[in-house]
């Protein structure tokens, strides 16, 4: 049986392992923590990214290596790629690890981005605020996720506070100042490219974030017929430029009906979790198929689906378990403020029935505010 190696043992690795099993593929996970949640469903090697003895033994046990964690150091990814097939390739990973490289690539591929400028010193922050304007967001170029490593500036006078928060990161990871986009909607493209170049995308997903963290998704995103083809073309161009193999997500803003590129994630993505029950083939299964060189599965949606993220702690499961075509995912992680500990996907044959199911769950859990924007979009 083929063995899939996964770098990082979070919920993405856990869901990859669960999707790999029916394909007859075993999974072996590496994480620096012995209680990484993927370890509950797949064997786990406990090692950090510079433990080359442990990584050598890991490489010898797997047929292909992929990522749950996009910030595996580039040196580690390159070192592994000399020993075993690694997908996506370390060069593609490197672009997605750096907001400057990523935005530069977007523009080269014809996808505009919010105005931005790199910032390495306090003086450059003032210059960037003049060039980019306010409001703006200062972000670390590397290692940020779930809105961490970001500071929102309402006006130029917020520069001191922004520098106090992130200035120390400037020499280590670099910073980038981005114009704040008053977008109408946020969308993501979940795409997959096989080893043979076969390329597919799932229907576009509409996303809602709270404090920089994904709160809810809805797919297929309503009223996006005009954007679907353009988004697919852009995602394909990006994937081909990078020689990308596997699933990736492209996060987009819609402003004045036009697409702007926010960032890409070189892996399966939270906004694609709905595909587990809501699509003919899930992002996890297609990622496993892609990296192993198997034919890709159909990415069409079954009906319409919405996902809730459970952040901090899990709610009562019973209203979800009692709802038709609603699905409970507990990642087996310890509760902690801001941590993603599970999600729920609710599927339905049409928008009206989805709204009814969502409203019922929200009322039972006291989560009316969380679902409100989704109900509006379904209206
Ligand atoms: P992820 O967990 O998606 O990797 P991240 O920490 O890399 O998150 P971003 O995707 O850059 O962060 O930002 C998180 C969210 O903050 C975005 O999805 C969006 O809602 C908001 N945001 C980020 N940049 C901008 C911007 N330039 N203008 C408006 N909103 C923004
Ligand atoms: Mg990100
Ligand atoms: Mg993001």
CA distance 160 to 113: 26
Residue 248 lies in a domain: yes
Atom of ligand 1 nearest to the CA of 209: 20
* Ligand located closest to 146 CA: 1
Question: For the complex shown, is ipTM > 0.90?
Answer: yes
Residue 105 lies in a domain: no
Q: Are 189 and 303 in a shared domain?
A: yes
Task: Using the 3D structure, point to which of 155, 179, 203 is the last residue of a domain.
Answer: 179
Task: Using the 3D structure, point to which of 86, 107, 138 is the last residue of a domain.
Answer: 86
C-alpha neighbours within 13 Å on the C-beta side of residue 123: 0
Residue 103: the pLDDT is: 97
Residue 278 lies in a domain: yes
Residue 147: the pLDDT is: 82
Q: Are 9 and 141 in a shared domain?
A: no
Q: Are 298 and 252 in a shared domain?
A: yes
Q: Are 222 and 265 in a shared domain?
A: yes
Closest CA relative to residue 156, chosen from 109, 122, 205: 122
- Virtual torsion, Cα 125, 131, 134, 139, nearest 10 deg: -50
Q: Are 79 and 131 in a shared domain?
A: no
Helix H or strand E segment including 27: strand 26-31
Residue 108 lies in a domain: no
Q: Is the peptide bond before 88 cis (omega within 30 degrees of 0)?
A: yes
Residue 231 lies in a domain: yes
Structural domain of 337: 185-378
CA distance 71 to 98: 10
In the reported structure, the alpha carbon of residue 367 is separated from the centroid of ligand 3 by a whole-number distance in angstroms of 23
Which residue positions in the chain have pLDDT lower than 70? Answer: none
Q: Are 294 and 193 in a shared domain?
A: yes
CA distance 351 to 325: 14
Atom of ligand 1 nearest to the CA of 179: 27
- Mutate which of 147, 206, 343 to test ligand 1's pocket (most atoms within 8 Å of Cβ)? 147
Residue 226: the pLDDT is: 84
Tokens of 280: 């003919």
CATH code for the domain of 120: 3.30.1490.20
Residue 148: the pLDDT is: 87
Q: Are 343 and 284 in a shared domain?
A: yes
Q: Are 198 and 233 in a shared domain?
A: yes
CA distance 195 to 182: 38
Q: Are 81 and 230 in a shared domain?
A: no
The protein residues having their C-beta less than 5 angstroms from ligand 3 (an ion) are 251
Strands (E), the chain: 3-7, 26-31, 44-46, 64-67, 85-86, 116-119, 136-140, 150-153, 175-179, 185-193, 199-201, 205-210, 213-219, 246-255, 258-265, 304-311, 326-330, 340-348
Task: Using the 3D structure, point to which of 179, 208, 228 is the last residue of a domain.
Answer: 179
One-letter-per-residue 3-state SS of 105-163? HHHHCCCCCCCEEEECCHHHHHHHHHHHCCCEEEEECCCCCCCCCEEEECCHHHHHHHH
CATH code for the domain of 28: 3.40.50.20
Q: Are 190 and 227 in a shared domain?
A: yes
The total of structural domains in the chain comes to: 3
Residues 168, 70, 145, 311, CA torsion sign:
negative
| Cβ–Cβ under 8 Å, residues 192 and 296 | yes
Q: Are 204 and 174 in a shared domain?
A: no
Q: Are 198 and 55 in a shared domain?
A: no
Tokens of 210: 């709270």
């Amino acid at each position: 049986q083929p063995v899939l190696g996964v770098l990082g043992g979070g919920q993405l690795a856990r869901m990859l392992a669960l999707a790999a099993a029916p394909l007859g593929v075993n999974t072996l996970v590496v994480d620096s923590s012995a209680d990484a949640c993927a370890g509950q469903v797949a064997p786990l090697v406990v090692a950090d990214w510079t433990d080359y003895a442990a990584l050598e033994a890991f490489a010898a046990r797997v047929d292909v290596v992929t990522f749950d964690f996009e910030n595996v150091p580039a040196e580690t990814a390159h070192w592994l790629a000399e020993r075993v097939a690694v997908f996506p390739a370390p060069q593609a990973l490197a672009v997605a690890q750096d907001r400057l490289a990523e935005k530069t690539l977007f523009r080269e591929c014809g996808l505009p981005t919010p105005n931005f400028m790199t910032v390495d010193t306090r003086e450059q922050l003032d210059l960037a605020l003049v060039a980019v304007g306010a409001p703006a967001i200062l972000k670390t170029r590397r290692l940020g996720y779930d809105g961490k490593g970001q500071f929102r500036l309402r006006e130029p006078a917020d520069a001191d506070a922004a520098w106090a928060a992130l200035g120390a990161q400037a020499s280590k990871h670099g910073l980038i100042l981005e114009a704040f986009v008053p977008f109408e909607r946020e969308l993501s493209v979940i795409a997959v490219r096989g080893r043979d170049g076969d390329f597919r995308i799932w229907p576009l997903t509409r996303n809602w974030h709270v404090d920089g963290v994904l709160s809810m998704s809805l797919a297929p995103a309503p009223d996006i017929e005009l954007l679907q083809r353009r988004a697919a073309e852009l995602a394909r161009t990006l994937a081909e430029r990078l020689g990308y193999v596997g699933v990736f997500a492209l996060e987009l803003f819609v402003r004045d009906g036009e697409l702007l590129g926010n960032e890409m994630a070189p892996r399966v993505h939270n906004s694609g979790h709905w595909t587990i029950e809501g699509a003919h083939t899930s992002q996890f299964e297609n990622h496993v198929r892609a990296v192993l060189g198997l034919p890709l599965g159909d990415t069409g949606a079954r009906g319409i689906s919405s996902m809730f993220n459970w952040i901090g702690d899990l709610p009562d499961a019973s209203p979800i378990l009692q709802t038709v075509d609603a699905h409970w995912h507990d990642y087996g992680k310890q509760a902690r403020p801001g941590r993603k500990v599970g999600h729920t996907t609710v599927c339905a044959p049409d928008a009206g029935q989805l709204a009814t199911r969502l409203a019922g769950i929200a009322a039972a859990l006291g989560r009316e505010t969380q679902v409100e924007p989704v109900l509006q979009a379904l209206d």
